[in-house]
Structure 1
Amino acid sequence: MKDSILSTKILTESQVELVLNTGISLTHYDLLKTEPIHMDSTENWDQVIITSQNAIPALLAHRKFIKNVYCVGEVTAVSLKKNEIHPIHIANNAVDLAKILITNYPEKNFLYLCSEQRRDELPAIFLQEKIPLIELFVYRSIAVMKSFDRIFAAVTFYSPRGVHAFAKANPHNKPLTAICIGKTTANTAAAYYKNVKIATKQTIENTLITAIKALRND
């Protein structure tokens, strides 16, 4: 248990090596599965908001109609840039992005590509400021309710919904440390676990590095 990490997202070969090269054991699986939602949209795609890279396929399918894109997270931004889409603003979380947009573009109408399980913070801010926001559900997340009979020294989480799903499937499984990719995820984890740490950058690699450092410092 001392030197063990559970990642709630399947890792790439290089990410696996990042952990294993330190001598720490690793288990990884996809806690959340995503599937696209078919849509025939006639919405205005001029100003598009995405808060997850899971929305990128829907965005790419309508790229010829899009003028500006605004996103959350460097990982999502990198994925967009690989597809030659350069986001105008990149924020650390949905609340920060909403504040940027309502401050700088109060006259614009926005389209939010999101999941059926999206969080309320961003739409609530737009509603409060009376700025038009249309939500378009383009994917859904399905939790994989997998339970473990061992306690891991660290579990890495990449979304608030992932935290809820793991805690529900493993009510008696309390990792020594919950390592979270961002503040919103960490706030959720704090409701379940005593020791919560946040990655310094919102990337999978940095989340893993934060977990490694947490175990090596113990």
Structure 2
Amino acid sequence: MKNISILSTKKLKSNQKELLLNADFSVDEADFIKIKSISFQIKNKPDLLLFTSQNGVKSVLESETLNELKQTPAICVGSKTKKLLEDNGFTVLESEEYASDLAPIIQNKFNKNHIAFFAGNLRRNVLPIAMQKANIIYDEYLVYENTPNHEKINSVVNAILFFSPSGVYSYLNQNKIENQICFCIGTTTAEALSGITTNIVIANQQTVENVIEQCINYYK
């Protein structure tokens, strides 16, 4: 196998980077997105918490009302989000990899609940629309801000790892995609590359590790 150069559009943890290095890839990495937690105040006592990302959980973990919130069960998008919640003492009733899969569960199983929805500034409309259609009472809390961090990459790479649509847009602000293979964490991220490239591989699970695994398997 020739020397393969990989660009990750977010800084990897050391064990994640090690997976690529052990596969004899060279690795460049840069954070194309900056995440900032935002403080919030609970307006009405919920009986169900809704999270769509680890960033939402991380912000809630900084809240003064954390211990109180832990008494309320949660539902979430993503296996890593579920793990982070459970590792910090939350009870997770339902978890799906995609918001579109969680939406009908919320409509059918939790339509009598008062939901606290913890979101970022770039959140999609899938779950709010689903809850509105089912006349579900919910309060939305903006708990983190996602801002682009444009960076020019001068090195030539064979593949790019993308972890969010906003990461795609931030990368494209200063860089082009030519012949590189793009490995995406999910279908929503892949959709952000529509019309730009067809060299796309989508992870089986929405985890950084699975994106890396797909990349390694592709070049084996």
Q: What is aligned with 1:154?
A: 159
AA at the equivalent of 1:82: D
Runs of 4+ off more than 4 Å: none
User: What is the distance in 1 between the residues matched to 2:91 and 2:32?
Assistant: 29
1:101 aligns with 2:102: no
1:116 aligns with 2:117: no
TM-score by length of 2: 0.90
Match of 2:174 among 169, 172, 180: 169
User: What is the distance in 1 between the residues matched to 2:53 and 2:202?
Assistant: 18
Structure 1: state its 5+ residue gaps.
none
Q: Secondary structure at the match of 1:149?
A: coil
User: What is the distance in 1 between the residues matched to 2:41 and 2:139?
Assistant: 15
User: What is the distance in 2 between the residues matched to 1:106 and 1:214?
Assistant: 42
AA at the equivalent of 1:180: C
8 Å CA contact 2:37–2:143 kept in 1: the answer is yes
Deviations 1:161-204 (A, max 9, x none): 1112212231x333521101112212222342211111122211
Q: Secondary structure at the match of 1:88?
A: strand
Q: Secondary structure at the match of 2:92?
A: coil
Q: Secondary structure at the match of 1:190?
A: coil
Q: Secondary structure at the match of 1:178?
A: strand
Q: What is aligned with 1:11?
A: 12
Q: What is aligned with 1:71?
A: 76
* Number of residue pairs the alignment of both structures matches: 215
User: What is the distance in 2 between the residues matched to 1:196 and 1:70?
Assistant: 30
User: What is the distance in 2 between the residues matched to 1:175 and 1:118?
Assistant: 30
1:206 aligns with 2:216: no
TM-score by length of 1: 0.91
Deviations 1:71-92 (A, max 9, x none): 1111111111211213111111
Match of 1:194 among 185, 194, 198: 198
Q: Secondary structure at the match of 1:19?
A: helix
1:47 Cα deviation after fit = 0.9
Alignment RMSD (CA, Å): 1.8
